[in-house]
Amino acid sequence: MLWALVCGACTEEGAGEPEGGSAETGGGETSEPTTTNAATTDGPVSTATSASGTGADSESDGTGEFVPEDCSDPCSGRTDQAIALCYACNCKNAMDGYLPPVEEVQCSQADALTTYTVDQSGPVGELMPLSSEASTCANPALLTESCQLGSRFGQLREGDIVVKWICRDPFEGQDLYADVGVIVHNERNGATCFFDDIDEVTGDDDLPDLDLNAADEANLQRYLDTFYFTDGESCSRDCHGSDPFVYTPYFAGITWQTGSYVNGPYSLVQLDGSYAPVQATHLRSPEVTPCLGCHRVGSTASCDFLAPDALGLSKTPAHEQALFDATDPASPDWRLALWMPEPLPKLRSLDEWLELYGAARDKIVECCADPGTNTAGCAWEPIPTQ
């Protein structure tokens, strides 16, 4: 069985190959790419930018420098409303005064995700979009093991601020998604905020404004009806351990945008305004360098399920049989089992892939057997926070 990691989906703009990431969305200090994968997108992707990370409506001291808001008043209470206002205030400060406009961060503004199946009518299996619901597929969601059609994923950038949101598994005939979440990350300082809905409450155009300081009472109530409070601790523990955004083949049908967050600081914004480290370390052994330009190799989700899937060691039951068959090194469809890097270079054989990435694969296998433990051959370091 093959075993490799989340070196999937990043290509330097105007150049060739690699990435990886958990939405599924991380990377060493070898490069700071502004990258996308080579897949086509089903809709426009917003890439609005500014000279700095500050938004047009943020406070300024008259010199163009952002002046943080005073969060002491909203942060003095412990009610759900006070906690929501406090978190929004601290997130806005952490994002240099920018939170994304409510009209842009909606499911209707996100790109449709494509669910694929494998067409095995020819000598080599080829991916083709599924046209009807199926219980298994070529690129299921690794979080929910779902192959449901109709999920959406949005991305935008404003200076140093990267925003991504996902709308999973719509209910047939209803304007309603099973799960919706938003992540906002500041590449300059590593600060990250997580917004996760309580499930089955969000439609195409009813996400509330995240900037509660600028919103009215109706928006605040909608916010409280949509999101439960999380500072991202559970999100970073379960999936987003090494990077704020995670790529998997679930996103193969869109243009995945990445950036310096794959090797920059990463921390969680707290209610007291501080930034907490994530509870993971990342692998820094020289052998894994081929992977580190696109994401970090973390001690939690990377070792737990992302790496086994990306390297073909383990496929969830939601994968169709063709993906299990492709994990056989003798299979002509070996490419289907791997997404390190994504897209795969134009290699003629698995042996050529192993020549490029085999040593990295073997080191990840070795070190993930006891993730986070430093040994003579495995060097794990804390993920930088600033």
According to DSSP, the residues that pair with 202 across neighbouring strands are 177
Distances (CA, A) of 230 to 80, 193, 197, 234, 269: 12, 9, 10, 8, 10
Phi, psi of 380 (to 5 degrees): -105, 140
**Confidence at residue 63, expressed as pLDDT on a 0 to 100 scale:** 54
**Confidence at residue 343, expressed as pLDDT on a 0 to 100 scale:** 73
Please, are residues 104 and 158 in contact by the beta-carbon 8 Å criterion?
A: no
Query: How many Å apart are CA 368 and CA 383, to the nearest integer?
Result: 16
DSSP string across 67-83: -----TTGGG--SHHHH
Query: How many Å apart are CA 302 and CA 310, to the nearest integer?
Result: 9
Mind listing the pLDDT tens digit of every residue in the chain (386 residues)? 333 333 333 333 222 222 333 334 333 333 333 333 333 333 333 333 333 334 444 555 555 678 899 999 999 999 999 999 999 999 999 999 999 999 999 999 999 999 999 999 999 999 999 999 999 999 999 888 999 999 999 999 999 999 999 999 999 999 999 999 999 999 999 999 999 999 999 999 999 999 998 789 999 999 999 999 998 777 766 677 788 998 999 999 999 998 999 889 999 999 999 999 998 899 999 999 988 877 889 999 889 989 889 988 899 999 999 999 999 999 999 999 998 777 778 888 999 999 999 999 999 999 999 999 999 999 999 999 87
**Confidence at residue 143, expressed as pLDDT on a 0 to 100 scale:** 85
Query: How many Å apart are CA 322 and CA 328, to the nearest integer?
Result: 10
Tokens found for residue 84: 């929501």
Tokens found for residue 342: 């994504």
- For the CA atoms of 87, 89, 93, 96, the dihedral, rounded to the nearest 10 degrees, stands at 110
- Inter-axis angle of helices 80-94 and 217-226, nearest 10: 100
